[in-house]
Amino acid sequence: MTRRSMTASNAPLNASIDETDDPVSCPDGRQSPAAAALQRGVSRALRALGHSVVTELVLAGGRRADVVGLSPSGDIWIVEIKSCLADFQADNKWFEYLDHCDRLYFAVATDFPIEVLPGEAGLILADRFGAEIQREPSEDRLTAARRKAMTLSFARAAALRLQRSIDPYCGS
């Protein structure tokens, strides 16, 4: 099995940094600082692979995907961030994401007990600087209708977030 390094800088995984010098923001206030750091690293890594990235994307049925990557060829990856074992044990709904992506990954820190993660999902080791794919998931291609729905949802979320960043008072 080959590992793909996807770090966005020369900083090694788990490099220490003074949190006061480079805080990781928690954009919607729902993530812990640890989860926000993993989300940042995963997002950087997916961008390094050429994917467009949207975080906290609401899926059909109301669930939120932590990170969604849209590849240049239209493949949809969902990355579920698990900041600690308790986070993983409290959330047993991960399988519901399978209907919304071609590939599902778990992203965890290097000190996470990876043996508890399901083998059919991919594994990404991440920190605030980047990430490495450790295990590829089984691939289950989306139907054309679901791919179109996910791509439209992704595009709308990205466009609305861009507009909100340009003009926070535009629309509702």
Q: Return the residue matching tokens 């399901």.
A: 118
- Residue (of 42, 15, 17) closest to 31 by Cα position: 42
Residues contacting residue 93 through CB under 8 Å, at least 6 positions apart: 63
Instruction: Give the model's pLDDT for residue 28.
Output: 61
3-state secondary structure (DSSP) of residue 88: helix
Q: Return the residue matching tokens 């966005």.
A: 8
Cα–Cα distance measured from residue 45 to residue 77, given in angstroms and rounded to the nearest whole number: 13
Domain residue spans of the chain: 27-166
- Pair 46, 75: CB distance under 8 Å: no
- Residue (of 42, 25, 22) closest to 82 by Cα position: 42
- Residue (of 124, 19, 110) closest to 81 by Cα position: 124
Instruction: Give the model's pLDDT for residue 27.
Output: 56
Instruction: Give the model's pLDDT for residue 112.
Output: 98
Instruction: Give the model's pLDDT for residue 127.
Output: 97
How confident is the chain (172 residues) per 10-residue block, as mean pLDDT? 44 41 49 93 98 96 95 97 95 91 98 96 97 96 97 96 90 68
Instruction: Give the model's pLDDT for residue 98.
Output: 95
